[in-house]
């Protein structure tokens, strides 16, 4: 099975997936790392790991979101990608992209969905004053942070937490959970039934 990871930033989740592939904990080939930001540190991680295909396309070089996503879909088809793993990829995918890879796109989000959707989940959880937040891995559908949930892990919020200390614990939880979820997909153990993902 061939994996593609899409990342816009630091790529620590990409690194966790690289490490799991290397150790044989994920029995798949990481064939492609893609970014919408040429300066993303994730691309440096991919180069260091000698990922065969490393591509960055700049959105402003395309006339529309659909044109950009069409180029992504063609790239994924050319590379014969089976699963697209979004790891801090900060662009919203168009229906065209989602349709082409329905049930084969995963995302990780730094909250216990459906709480704290959107781009500031960690800050929003702190501001709201919840005692427990966490991490969610889900399949991607047309709505933001919405698709069927694959796995979740709780992270307790401590009285002395700052954005940085909480983010660090959330990242650690992500680095454990995401490779496990990817491996479950790779080994054919995830079945989608409506909104529910049934692991076997």
Binding site for ligand GAR (CB under 6 A): 7, 9-13, 87-88, 108-110, 119, 121, 171, 174
Q: Whose Cβ is closer to ligand GAR: residue 117's or residue 198's?
A: 117
Q: Closest separation between CB of residue 144 and ligand GAR, Å?
A: 8
Distance CA 100, CA 152 (A): 26
Distance CA 41, CA 38 (A): 9
Contact 83, 4 (CB under 8 A): yes
Q: Closest separation between CB of residue 35 and ligand GAR, Å?
A: 10
Q: How far is CA 196 from CA 19, 59, 97, 134, 189, in A?
A: 29, 33, 22, 19, 13
Q: How far is CA 143 from CA 10, 19, 43, in A?
A: 25, 31, 27
Q: Whose Cβ is closer to ligand GAR: residue 13's or residue 133's?
A: 13
Q: Of all residues in this chain, which one has the CB nearest to ligand GAR in the complex?
A: 88
Q: Whose Cβ is closer to ligand GAR: residue 87's or residue 155's?
A: 87
Tokens (6 digits) for 92: 């919203």
Q: Closest separation between CB of residue 174 and ligand GAR, Å?
A: 6
Catalytic residue, candidates 109, 138, 171, 175: 109
Q: Closest separation between CB of residue 178 and ligand GAR, Å?
A: 8
- What is the 8-class DSSP label of residue 81? -
In the annotation, is 109 catalytic?
A: yes
Distance CA 182, CA 150 (A): 10
Q: Whose Cβ is closer to ligand GAR: residue 10's or residue 19's?
A: 10
Tokens (6 digits) for 5: 């990871």
* Residue entry with tokens 């995918």: 93
Catalytic residues, by residue number, are 109
């Amino acid at each position: 099975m061939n994996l593609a990871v899409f990342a816009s930033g630091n790529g620590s989740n990409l690194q966790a997936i690289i490490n799991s592939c290397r150790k044989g904990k994920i029995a798949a080939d990481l064939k492609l790392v893609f970014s919408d930001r040429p300066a993303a540190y994730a691309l440096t991680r991919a180069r260091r790991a000698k990922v065969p295909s490393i591509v960055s396309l700049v959105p402003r070089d395309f006339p529309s979101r659909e044109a950009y996503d069409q180029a992504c879909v063609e790239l994924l088809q050319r590379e014969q990608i089976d699963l697209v793993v979004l790891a801090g990829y900060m662009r919203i995918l168009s229906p065209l992209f989602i349709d082409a890879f329905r049930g084969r796109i995963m995302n990780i989000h730094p909250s216990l969905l459906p709480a704290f959707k959107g781009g500031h989940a960690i800050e929003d959880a702190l501001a709201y004053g919840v005692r427990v937040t966490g991490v969610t891995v889900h399949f991607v559908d047309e709505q933001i942070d919405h698709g069927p949930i694959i796995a979740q892990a709780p992270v307790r919020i401590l009285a002395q937490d700052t954005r940085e200390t909480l983010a660090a614990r959330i990242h650690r939880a992500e680095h454990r959970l995401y490779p496990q979820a990817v491996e479950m997909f790779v080994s054919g153990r995830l079945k989608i039934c409506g909104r529910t993902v049934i692991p076997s």
